[in-house]
Structure 1
Amino acid sequence: MSNYPLEKCLHQFFEQQVETTPDAIAVKFKNQQLTYSQLNARANQLAHHLIGLGVKADVIVGLCIERSLEMIVGMFGILKAGGAYVPLDPAYPEQRLNYMLTDSQAPVLLTQAKLVGQLPNLNTKIICLDTDWELIAQQQNDNPIIELHKNNLAYIIYTSGSTGKPKGVMIDHQSISNHMQWMQTTFPLAKTDKVLQKTPFSFDASIPEFYAPLLVGAQLIVAKPLLHQDTNYLIKVIKDEGVTMVQATPSLLQMLLEDKEFKTCISLKRVFCGGEALSVELKNRFLETLNASLYNAYGPTESTITTTTYNTKLLSDEANSVPIGKAITKAKIYILDKNQKIVPTGVAGELHIGGIGLARGYLNRPDLTAEKFIYLFNQRLYKTGDLVRYRADGNIEFIGRIDNQVKIRGFRIELGEIESVIMKHVSEVAVIVREDQPGNKRLVAYTVGSIDGLRDAVKAELPNYMVPAAFVSLEKMPLTPNGKIDRRALP
């Protein structure tokens, strides 16, 4: 076990780095940039201002802001004041923002002047980081000295709830501190590295993009707002800035690989893929296109970003799926059957996660917290609802969602199982149940790639009742804001 110092909070690692490389460029956005000392000074001024407003340990501060330098200042300013930030994506519908602000009861909200009009009128102190900066800039710019413990909250991220109401996942400092130190130990960034920040900050996959470079003296390149799925723009930024590390969902990676210019992104050294199943075909295309490493990463928000990773270069030619790999440092994995007994290698079971990466729970939802975070084997475990199995080599293979189980004509069907079979022949797939005529449920498979001969190929591996009634070929999959397949938008 690596002995990471977990007493230190995220912003303290950053402050340590500022001492070492004060004049290095920390962050670039469009034609603006800040050095490490400039970013630190601004974040400190904001922190002192927030402390004056009563922000301290475990006080929640809303951050509703477009990608910009202010976004980075806002995040560090809240952490340095001791608060926990809640990212609120300005692209969300007002009703959703209203729910998140009401639920989190954030007493302070940081935003930009142009966004104030679309924010719900709640009993929250609103600070505009652009137009109110003259006032904030009157504060001192030294590092605030505050009482903060590793178990205090760092951020709360709202994820979709099966009830239709988003739920706030509470992550403390030691969890994120462990993740960032594991990352720097396993995939060390040098001062010459440049990381592209393009994932919407309301998804926890964005967190390594922000902090991985800034805790070690590397450079953060911030993408323009709303262009995180524009492949022309992303490729241009990667080339112009010499970006060395990028994260992408398989859907976005697919779009990048379809662009002939992507092969000219020769500065890329590492690409992290996650959020959906990565196909063997997509992995092969990437490794044939670029001389870079591709890592398949898996982890729910409830266990702090990443729980397992796999270097796809290790995959044998015969393999028909890309594993999600092995646990990161200080994460514990248990694959259990319905009776909560550990299953043997090769047998599918529900993935349970333990270790210090676990969230504190769901904000204001003790019922849901108790249902999802259970005590077993003398420790707290998170029930992921994901169906996985151990391969003979000790790596974990993702099969699908346990609750992705549907019933058609009395048969219980795992949609993930059908998708994994089709995935061997196409680059992307989504299988859903359609009921266009009441009472007539049927399976429909949507693919990117040719459907010629696909039905026969699927029939060769699956029983008849699991063979989709229809196969639909699409040029590209509809995507949600965080780059996952938007199943509701399938034609």
Structure 2
Amino acid sequence: WAGATSNYPREASIPELFRLEARRRPGAVALEAGELRLTYGELESLANALARCLEAEGVGAESTVGLLTERSPEMVVALLAILKAGGAYLPLDPSYPAERLRFMVEDGGVSLVLASEGSASAVAGLAGVKVLPLEGCLEAGGEVSAPPEAPISAEQLAYVMYTSGSTGLPKGTAIPHRAVVRLVKEADFMHLGEEEVFLHLAPISFDASTLEVWGPLLNGGRLVLAPSGAQDLAGIGSLIREHGVTSLWLTAGLFHVMVDERLEDLASLRQLLAGGDVLSPPRVAKVLALPDGPAVINGYGPTENTTFTACHIMAPGTELPAGTVPIGRPIADTRVYVVDAAFRLQPLGVPGELVIGGDGLARGYRGRAALTAERFVPSPFGESGGRLYRTGDRARFRAGGELEFLGRLDAQVKIRGFRIEPGEVESVLSSAPGVERAAVTVREDTPGERRLVGYYVPEDGGDGGKELEASLRAYLEESLPSYMVPAALVELAELPLTPNGKVDRKALPAPADVGGGEGQGYLAPRNQTEELIAGIWSEVLGVDQVGVKDDFFGLGGHSLLATQVSSRLRNALGTEVPLRLLFENPTVAGLAAALAEHGREDLDIPPLVPASREGDLPLSFAQQRLWFIDQLEPGSPAYNMPLPLLVEGDLNPSTLEAALTTVVARHESLRTRFESEGGRPRQVVDAPWTFRLPLVDLQGLPKEGAEAVTRELVRRDGMAPFDLAAGPLLRGALLRRGAGEHVLVFNMHHIVSDGWSLG
């Protein structure tokens, strides 16, 4: 199955496309971070200056530059500057252990690293690697309006992104410019244009950031940067409201938590993308049921095919069929196949391995020729010179042509949206001091909550106890990113084995509840705050009993569950509970004390103030979405809301007209139309007007004939478009079918009404 062939600029590079936007709309806002705003012209100038500095340092075509920084405006400038200089960026997350960062720099062939203040020490002292302070380079660059002159081809390397590797070492995926351009230009899985405001939440080392950053910036949109570090749910909601965010990407785990805890914060979005794991149909249904809520897009795609391969688009109001949420159809310029072990195409409904082709494919793995040859193979399906990527995912085509994800063929898993090879974690745990043998597996003891669990046998058959467990956790945290550290560590006298001598992973025991009883070290909550915290932890973590000395992360907590705790404490206490309080005070007693010090400040809920009628009236987010859709499809009746009503008994048409006139006078939205000036829409509220109901007399027709004419008139009216600029955006007619029987044919545009209004 192939996606559509689009007219995206196949030969263009990322800097070239950004430069076109900067020339077209230099004064338009490109980037927002807190109170800071950078226009397209300013971002172009800053990136040009830094690119010239990088050129002077020897950066050119195919150079790989490490970028070690938190999410910030400087990060975006650096990404663009590296590409302008002809180089490729290798994102380095400052939260990663130094050992992993140093491996990525050396393995990625990096000779230059741009590092933000306070991060450089992690990669300092590597042979042949120069580390430059990012802030200093930006200050030294001055103002340069002209970009570097070296041409950049679409085949050139754009970035290298590392993911978990089954051999115990991460592997770098090499992505060319064309793959990124294919993702974000002429996209058919979502709308990307100058009216879109995209929130950048993902870590820069996670390939969702490719869409979040370049999706808006190469289409004239606005990029909003979330503050660096973990985000609490209330903070995400505030960012959506304060910046007018229209498009948002969430991992499946964060999507589920937001729906459970902060559903109302998603209502103003136009497009909500989620993926990285299987979506919960009931939670998707909740979003689709939001009045004027967003479309939900279930996105699937490995890093090796540049963020997205297939998408399933669900419009607001869509009713989900039974079963899992499909991953949809291939996006434009992408081909997908389901094959058996002999690479033969599978019929509809028959599972097999999902393989991918098209313009989004990576070059392969940096410095891993054998692995590249194994995973990226020549296509046997008639594409001259074509390659296919073997995903290792099981899938099947449904009867309607949509893909259904069925899991992995190997041991690789996704937890909280991150791709993890348990073998890599197992390799690190096995190498830890004091460990004789180890195994790492994924457990789902609580439905929907997958977690890594590490099992180890101490050296010399001894009893390592809590001291060894603590040292192992410290060792893992120094060697692996936080999302790869097992949620629980279990000491065993021996690992269970199968008859052929391999670890019997099915026989590995479930980790005991660390806080599950009044055992050694248990201390019950001593006051109401501690009882509240312990109760919330018990619910969120699935632990029967939590003591005041218990550590949230030691009980299996992680950042995603921490956001749930923060949200529930906020609702219970009526005060903001910053996520950092839990990270800094991970025990029940510590968090209770921190909350007492933090104070019970009232929530800062802004008062509802009537909007001034002076000057232009802006559109709500939901109205903006409907207005833009109307501009894309003028004359479309898709958002008409026809409502035929059977009225039995005596009816005075003049009295009905007077009643409707009163309703229109009372509700401004029914007198509102939508003009535009310079492409910017505004609301215009007209003075009260008299509602007229044309009367159509059907009394002379037989009953069947009157029914047929009624249906046809209702159909015609439902298909007749509204003119949003001219108005009015509601109309009606009265069909008289007898002395005591009328049909009121009522119709209005969704932009001035919704299901709640009609209810």
Give the whole-Å Cα distance in 2 for the aligned partners of 1:108 and 1:43.
17
Q: TM-score, normalised by structure 1?
A: 0.83
Give the whole-Å Cα distance in 1 for the aligned partners of 2:452 and 2:60.
46
> Which stretch shows the higher mean deviation, 35-44 or 115-124?
115-124
TM-superposed CA distance for 1:142, in Å, is 1.1
Alignment partner, residue 128 of structure 1:
133
Alignment partner, residue 346 of structure 1:
349
Report the AA paired with residue 76 of structure 2: I
Give the whole-Å Cα distance in 2 for the aligned partners of 1:432 and 1:341.
35
* 8 Å Cα contact 1:41-1:141 kept in structure 2: yes
Give the whole-Å Cα distance in 2 for the aligned partners of 1:71 and 1:8.
23
Deviation string 1:139-162 (CA, Å, 9 cap, x unpaired) is 633122212211110111011111
Q: Does 1 or 2 have the higher relative contact order (CA < 8 Å, sep 6+)?
A: 1
Q: Which has the larger radius of gyration?
A: 2
1:177 to 181, 189, 193: 181
Report the AA paired with residue 98 of structure 2: E
Alignment partner, residue 273 of structure 2:
272
Q: Against the structure 1 CA distance between its residues 25 and 444, is the aligned structure 2 distance closer, same or farther, given a 3 Å change threshold?
A: farther
TM-superposed CA distance for 1:443, in Å, is 8.0
Deviation string 1:252-288 (CA, Å, 9 cap, x unpaired) is 011212224x404443110111111112122112223
User: Does 2:410 match 1:403?
Assistant: yes
TM-superposed CA distance for 1:433, in Å, is 8.8
Report the AA paired with residue 272 of structure 1: L
| Superposition pairs of residues 86-485 of structure 1, within 5 angstroms | 86-122=90-126, 123-137=128-142, 140-183=144-187, 185-228=188-231, 230-260=232-262, 262-289=263-290, 291-313=293-315, 317-377=320-380, 378=382, 379-404=386-411, 428-430=448-450, 438-439=495-496, 441-442=506-507, 474-475=540-541, 478=557
Give the whole-Å Cα distance in 2 for the aligned partners of 1:126 and 1:284.
49
Give the whole-Å Cα distance in 1 for the aligned partners of 2:165 and 2:201.
24
Secondary structure class of the residue paired with 1:131: helix
Q: Against the structure 1 CA distance between its residues 473 and 332, is the aligned structure 2 distance closer, same or farther, given a 3 Å change threshold?
A: farther
TM-superposed CA distance for 1:404, in Å, is 3.8
Report the AA paired with residue 255 of structure 2: L
Alignment partner, residue 36 of structure 2:
32
Give the whole-Å Cα distance in 2 for the aligned partners of 1:431 and 1:73.
36
Give the whole-Å Cα distance in 2 for the aligned partners of 1:215 and 1:434.
43
* 8 Å Cα contact 2:154-2:178 kept in structure 1: yes
TM-superposed CA distance for 1:429, in Å, is 4.2
TM-superposed CA distance for 1:357, in Å, is 1.1
Q: Against the structure 1 CA distance between its residues 432 and 160, is the aligned structure 2 distance closer, same or farther, given a 3 Å change threshold?
A: closer
Deviation string 1:324-357 (CA, Å, 9 cap, x unpaired) is 0011111111101111111111110000111121
Alignment partner, residue 10 of structure 1:
14
Give the whole-Å Cα distance in 2 for the aligned partners of 1:3 and 1:33.
32
Q: Against the structure 1 CA distance between its residues 444 and 213, is the aligned structure 2 distance closer, same or farther, given a 3 Å change threshold?
A: farther
Q: Against the structure 1 CA distance between its residues 443 and 279, is the aligned structure 2 distance closer, same or farther, given a 3 Å change threshold?
A: farther
* 8 Å Cα contact 1:434-1:443 kept in structure 2: no
Report the AA paired with residue 391 of structure 2: T
Q: Against the structure 1 CA distance between its residues 155 and 480, is the aligned structure 2 distance closer, same or farther, given a 3 Å change threshold?
A: farther
Report the AA paired with residue 47 of structure 2: A
Gaps of 5+ in 2: 414-440, 456-489, 497-503, 512-537, 543-555, 563-759
1:57 to 57, 61, 74: 61
* 8 Å Cα contact 2:68-2:120 kept in structure 1: no
* 8 Å Cα contact 1:432-1:445 kept in structure 2: no
> Which stretch shows the higher mean deviation, 397-406 or 237-246?
397-406
Deviation string 1:4-43 (CA, Å, 9 cap, x unpaired) is 2211101111100001110111111122121110100000
Give the whole-Å Cα distance in 1 for the aligned partners of 2:12 and 2:510.
48
User: Does 2:74 match 1:70?
Assistant: yes
Secondary structure class of the residue paired with 2:322: coil
Q: Against the structure 1 CA distance between its residues 110 and 315, is the aligned structure 2 distance closer, same or farther, given a 3 Å change threshold?
A: same
Secondary structure class of the residue paired with 1:155: strand
* 8 Å Cα contact 1:434-1:442 kept in structure 2: no
Q: Against the structure 1 CA distance between its residues 284 and 13, is the aligned structure 2 distance closer, same or farther, given a 3 Å change threshold?
A: same
Give the whole-Å Cα distance in 2 for the aligned partners of 1:160 and 1:405.
9
Give the whole-Å Cα distance in 2 for the aligned partners of 1:42 and 1:310.
38
Give the whole-Å Cα distance in 1 for the aligned partners of 2:452 and 2:216.
39
TM-superposed CA distance for 1:249, in Å, is 0.9
Give the whole-Å Cα distance in 2 for the aligned partners of 1:55 and 1:32.
29
Give the whole-Å Cα distance in 2 for the aligned partners of 1:41 and 1:344.
54
Q: Against the structure 1 CA distance between its residues 101 and 405, is the aligned structure 2 distance closer, same or farther, given a 3 Å change threshold?
A: closer
RMSD (CA atoms): 2.8
Deviation string 1:290-332 (CA, Å, 9 cap, x unpaired) is 6111000000000111000001349754421000001111111
Give the whole-Å Cα distance in 2 for the aligned partners of 1:405 and 1:219.
35
Report the AA paired with residue 430 of structure 1: R
Q: Against the structure 1 CA distance between its residues 220 and 38, is the aligned structure 2 distance closer, same or farther, given a 3 Å change threshold?
A: same
Give the whole-Å Cα distance in 2 for the aligned partners of 1:391 and 1:165.
36
Secondary structure class of the residue paired with 2:289: helix
TM-superposed CA distance for 1:55, in Å, is 1.0
Give the whole-Å Cα distance in 1 for the aligned partners of 2:66 and 2:379.
35
Report the AA paired with residue 126 of structure 1: V
Secondary structure class of the residue paired with 1:113: coil
Secondary structure class of the residue paired with 1:221: strand
Deviation string 1:375-421 (CA, Å, 9 cap, x unpaired) is 23153111100000000110000000001499xxxxxxxx99x98xx
TM-superposed CA distance for 1:444, in Å, is 8.3
Report the AA paired with residue 51 of structure 1: E
Q: Against the structure 1 CA distance between its residues 222 and 317, is the aligned structure 2 distance closer, same or farther, given a 3 Å change threshold?
A: closer
Identity among equivalent pairs (%): 36
Greater strand share, structure number: 1
Give the whole-Å Cα distance in 2 for the aligned partners of 1:70 and 1:121.
24
* 8 Å Cα contact 1:89-1:202 kept in structure 2: yes
Q: Against the structure 1 CA distance between its residues 182 and 65, is the aligned structure 2 distance closer, same or farther, given a 3 Å change threshold?
A: same
* 8 Å Cα contact 1:61-1:108 kept in structure 2: yes
Secondary structure class of the residue paired with 2:136: coil
Secondary structure class of the residue paired with 1:345: coil
1:19 to 23, 32, 35: 23
